[in-house]
Amino acid sequence: MFNNRGQTLVEALLATAVAITVIVALVGVGINSMRVANYSKNQAEATKLAREQLELLRNLRDTSASWSNFSTSVVGCVTGSPCCVSFNTNPRAIYSYDTANCQYSNIFNVSFTSVTTADKAVITAIAAFTEGSLTRNVTLVETFTNWRGT
């Protein structure tokens, strides 16, 4: 006759190994889901901040005495030398990029660059955030025109 006691031990070990494999896989899926959710949240916030930067610039354009006043204030904000509209000052002002005025929080930095001509300015708003060791950017581009003709 056969002894079943050894066979039961092997079945128990095999069942434990399968259970551990399933648990490790579920933990991995959970961690990856949390990472993706955090990235999505940061990307949505960065998009909101870049959009807000464009809205602040639109407000500055609309409240400037003339197109010339607005275009002069953004003409120096070019690639390699970006600017930002500070979230922290009132009235809003355009600053050369530095962390004191352009950092929205300890996660997000917001800036813009422009290509300005006589009657239009192509504004590129950039919101950057850090995710682990990587820096991610959200970039929005909008064309502002001299809609008042002044």
Q: How is the chain split into domains, by residue range?
A: 5-145
The confidence score (pLDDT) of residue 37 equals 93
**Averages of pLDDT over each 10 residues, the chain, 150 residues:** 67 91 93 92 91 88 87 82 73 64 74 85 89 90 87
Residue 139: C-alpha distances to residues 7, 23, 30, 119 (Å): 63, 39, 30, 23
For CA atoms 92, 79, 58, 51, give the dihedral sign: negative
The confidence score (pLDDT) of residue 59 equals 87
Residue 38: C-alpha distances to residues 31, 32, 109, 126 (Å): 11, 10, 17, 19
Strands 94-96 and 83-85: antiparallel
State the first-to-last Cα distance of the chain, in angstroms, to the nearest integer. Answer: 104
90, 56 contact by CB (below 8 A): no
The confidence score (pLDDT) of residue 60 equals 86
The confidence score (pLDDT) of residue 92 equals 62
User: What's the rounded Cα separation, in Å, for the pair 110 and 52?
Assistant: 10
pTM for this model (two decimals): 0.76
